[in-house]
Chains A and B, each alone.
Chain A
């Protein structure tokens, strides 16, 4: 009797399971409407995003060229192959995809790992580079594509991908591949642009990375945008101060560093830079005064050495000239 029940159960189990599963399928909520920001358009497609059909294994250079060209650079996949492609891996690594835009005068910014930030960027007119995984956790198969639009009514996402200029996928399918790919998404920004969803901390990280390769005027714009958006962030002021310093605008550098120090007076690094900029401005006494206000006891070695250095330079300049600091020193410091 028990055996017969088991047979019956087995016979019905499969159709029942299928029915249950299908009903589960029907109840699944769409993705786009739930993740779209208030006021965003329900349908976006960035048609003007350039498309480059990928060569074998080279979706990285092709997808990157697409977002860089959309941002107004002359990037091409051919130019990017020697920059991001690794022959033995048959692909491109995220770290290098992130570093490459700097060579084209663009910042790269990693989006928060949620769909709404991708949709917000698309709504703002910015295509989004994404990493998909079409394999399994134990057998991953990675692929870069560029999201260029969405449709809330159809619950779809439109991409430039591989050799297809236009690929429209159900948002759920996109999400499975994106989720399994670690939810990695990146936009490239012109100096002075900030992402819609920008987090000050993440943006300033991106700007600091950009600074390394950037022309100082571009760097000044990148940090200037941060100052406009988050005026209470000392790093934004320090970054622009550095750019001004590199441009030789020492008075402007002093003003920016002084603002950073006013926001947070405990910052040894900011104050040291301030002293350095004052020195270059021809204000050795003010420089020495600022440098002397740094408590070197708690600093790490490299910073302590730097401060000691600044102090010595300031002292040498003071010894060399008996004249008081010019008026510009105090005015640039703004009473600090």
Chain B
């Protein structure tokens, strides 16, 4: 059976996940896990280092952005590496759903009228 790249990579990710879990649960294996981490080659080291740097980076950014320091650890712990990476890269500019003030409402009404009357057609491509 030929499997897609996605499947292969998912399997690899899940495998590593179960491996870590397994090592955490068995005492003898836990020692090997630490050993494995220390002796990984440069490539693996880099990815570990990257995620550690990103973790620290996101923590610093969050604190700077006013998130309570005691909450930051929990928030970072609940993110996987992929999510952490997205935050590290784009926390300043990523969409942040918040409030709607009257001025926004006015702009939106104009937008809707333009759309309705066909002056613009935002769904053309979609």
Contacts and interface: CB of A to CB of B under 8 A. Distances in A.
B32 A270 contact: no
Interface residues of A, number: 95
Interface of B: 1, 3, 6-8, 10-19, 21-22, 25-26, 28-29, 32, 36, 39-41, 43-44, 62, 64-68, 71, 74-75, 78-80, 83, 86-87, 91, 94-101, 104-105, 107-108, 111-112, 115-119, 122-123, 126
A272 interface: yes
In terms of DSSP, what is the predominant structure of the interface of chain A? Answer: helix
Contact of B97 (A59, A87, A201): A59
A242 B87 contact: no
A87 B112 contact: no
Contact of A306 (B19, B67, B115, B123): B19
A91 B98 contact: yes
A290 interface: no
Interface in A267-289: 267-270, 272-273, 276, 280
Q: Indicate the member of B25, B64, B83 with the most A CB atoms within 10 Å.
A: B83
B92 to A, nearest CB: 8
A295 interface: no
Closest 10 CB pairs of A and B: A269-B15, A91-B96, A87-B66, A91-B98, A24-B118, A88-B65, A21-B117, A144-B97, A89-B96, A242-B18
A144 B98 CA distance: 7
Contact of A209 (B16, B43, B65, B80): B80
Contacts of A18: 117
Interface in A12-70: 18, 20-22, 24-25, 28, 54, 56-60, 63
Interface in A79-122: 82-83, 85-100, 102-103
